[in-house]
Structure 1
Amino acid sequence: MDLVSCPPSQADGTTFSRVPDGGEIWLNGTQATPGAANVGDASVPSVSVDYSIAPTAGEPVILVVNFATSETVSEVAVYYATGDAPAYNVDNKITGVIGADSAVVTMTDLNVAGEKVSFFVAVSLDNGETYYYDKDNFETELATLTGDPALWYSYTAGSVAAPTLALTFSATPTEGYEAVGLEYSADVEIVEARIYFAAGDSPMYIKNNKVKGEDEASFTQTGVTINMANHDVEDADGVIVGNSSDPGVQISFYVRLALANGFEFYFDKDGNVISDDTNDDTDDGPSDAFKDDPTMWNTYTNKAPAVLSTLTFPANPASTDDINVELGYSSDEEIVEARIYFAGAEGLYVKNNKFKGEDEASFTQTGVTINMRDTDIELVDGTIDGTTSDSGATIYFYIRLATATSEYYYSIDGTAITLMAVDDSPADGAYDSSDAFKDDSSLWLSYTVQ
């Protein structure tokens, strides 16, 4: 079986193909011929260049020029210039050591910290022909290259400090509300903040199983919260085999930050950093071993939310009546709080306006009855504005069930008891939608006292 690594797709519609059709030589940038034989000149070398775009200052800079051609390569050379305004000089030339299908070019003394080095590649054949290549590995006329240094490859020597990264996520997030918070800093612009993930007990790296944090509305140069809920999970064949929010699924994941200079940094579960400074825009590089070892990734396993299954209360109680709110609920975790938060005409959340169902004698792990009768209503400014039993008063309220790891906010949407908000922050989770719900009493329940 043959194994050939394809270069990145070209935007101009050219292809990577065998020339002649079915032959041994693979060429990049050939004419696309759907349904017909491949065409192209196998004597014209197909070239790619591997190098670090930010090599360590003072250390040798190594370029690997890969080539494929039906002819014999007699010389591989690099023409270079330094500084921010590079200009072609025929004498600025370094030749490489030629192997079977590549040449190694050592850029001696071209490793000064902060100094930009630009270059293009020339490949000479034993038939007397010489071909020149731009930064996209396309064969280009020498006059075009010398006239436009923007077409050249480039690097700038100097150490690049790894970004700092702090993660926020719950080990047991609520099913359908999974999220991971990233807080980071870098000396160079961060252009990508991604999570790569796998689902199940036998995780493996699949490139398509990723979430692009840079596409999130919350993305900034200091952090992003990445929504991990309800993403398709693919296998190695591209078949969708599950969902990231499937009940009880273990998710293994790692974070990759990419900088504007092309550097990529991978972070393991212990906060160790694996850097990748290759320029070839592929998955190759020092990160491969890390991606192939999911035991070094972070993990979490989601859980089902606490469920409010029944809710009854009087819609129009008399001012002298008990106002009993009966709750029925269930949870895989212990219910530690079953509370009602309320507001009067002001309709604003005040933390002190609450009933603690967990303190009631009727409290169990399946339900509680809470009497809302004759309780002072505190305003935002701390003053008291009547009670929950005053005739003519409309009282707004919602239910909050809490476990040791999460809080669940319930109301009625239409006629159905509905989970309106989730807060996973008690267990260091990154997801919390409760503030918006608490700030909008139009979403709460209500009764009006007669």
Structure 2
Amino acid sequence: MPNPKPALIATTELDNEATKDVKVEQGRKVTYVFNITTYDNLKIPYAVSINGKVQDEFKSKTKRMPINGTIIVSNVKPGASVSLFLNSDAHPLYRKEPVYTVTPLVHDVVVKILEKKGKHRDEAVPLQSKNNGGNSISAQEVQTYTSVLTGDIWLKVSHKYTSDEVNSLLPPETTPEIKAAVLRIYNGLTQPKLTIALSAKLGKEEKTISVKFEDGENPHENIASGYDLLKEGLTRVHPAGYAAIFSAAVEAGVFSITMSSAWRPMLGSIAHRAGLGLDVTYLGATKLNRQSLSIPTARQNDNVSNTEKELFSAVKLAKAQQLSAAKNLTGAKLELKAASGDSQQLPIARAKLKKTEELHASAELARREAELAWNTERDKNEPEEVRKFRAALIRSQSIAQIFDPWFIDFNVKDKVSASPNMQGDKNEQTHAHHLHITVRDANII
């Protein structure tokens, strides 16, 4: 009987071609480490560019530098150049000044950037550092570079607005008079003041608003290439900031304003450095200063009465007593828990907790009453033009924050009420002698 044919016949063909090794290049990592010396936890806006192309995750937005000052760019092809766009220049529509360009080859790269005060002409170019053993390094090590962040570099990465940009950056409700005044700033003022002619009659006669721009020491002390308030300072501020202030002055019936700070490079938070901050020191004849509330040596003015000082002291004492009572209440609850299995100590702990709860409730009530009395006296003496001016700013769609000697509001559009400026933390103390606005621009901060 013949053998049955197999259902399948499998054959194997040998590939006699030589095996080829394909070299896979390992991606490099570039780490930027910023040492900001002029402000704690400065979150600089940034975007990353590789070989002149902004990476996809930054195409329509910026990111904010973490509080540890470190920016990490991973999986960089060896030989590719990595650059940063910083500050307002990181805005998707700007990005004209790439800085701190490095080209990793066989090593990962770390770029250490030190913010340096004073007048310096350093470029934003990383310089290769020597390792301990000389220039040669092993494949396991990283290549270190150093660079600086100076006032001139801050100037370079701060967008300078032009008159052609103004119309697209102002809210639609901006009146022709305000728009014309803002345009004059970017067309180039010849002196640090501006007169806004109002077409609408207020009362029986035509009115104008007089604006005075004060210069600051900070830019002059930290920019070596030359700095001019009218050409470089005012024009690096977002136009909507000026429009909001001028419009609020019209609504509040304020006919003169003194502004003390526009763009500046190396002082305070990112707002002024990114051109989104403006400060006001005078509204009409009212000096926006309440430092005498907490500083005995500060000059007395009508914004703080002697009665308010006494009531403010009572608030601080009531707060301290309330905190102490809260601490005691926490301790009493822990004692009750510990005594839960002790028949002798349990009644004592319960009695102590009840008494502590009564004292805590009394301290809470005393604090609320002290705050109410202080708030009433403070509000009674707040100038009407200041109250109206702030209210108009809050209504503006261009404003994100308002800090002033009376109130602190980190987000004027949320449902959280502004808190009284008690001149306690650094931010409150800083704004005890002027009003600050932060312009809303999500593409920058």
Q: If the length of structure 2 is used for normalisation, what is the TM-score?
A: 0.20
Higher percent of residues as helix: 2
Hey, which of these two has a bigger chunk of strand by percent?
1
The answer to which structure, 1 or 2, has the higher relative contact order (CA under 8 A, 6+ apart) is: 2
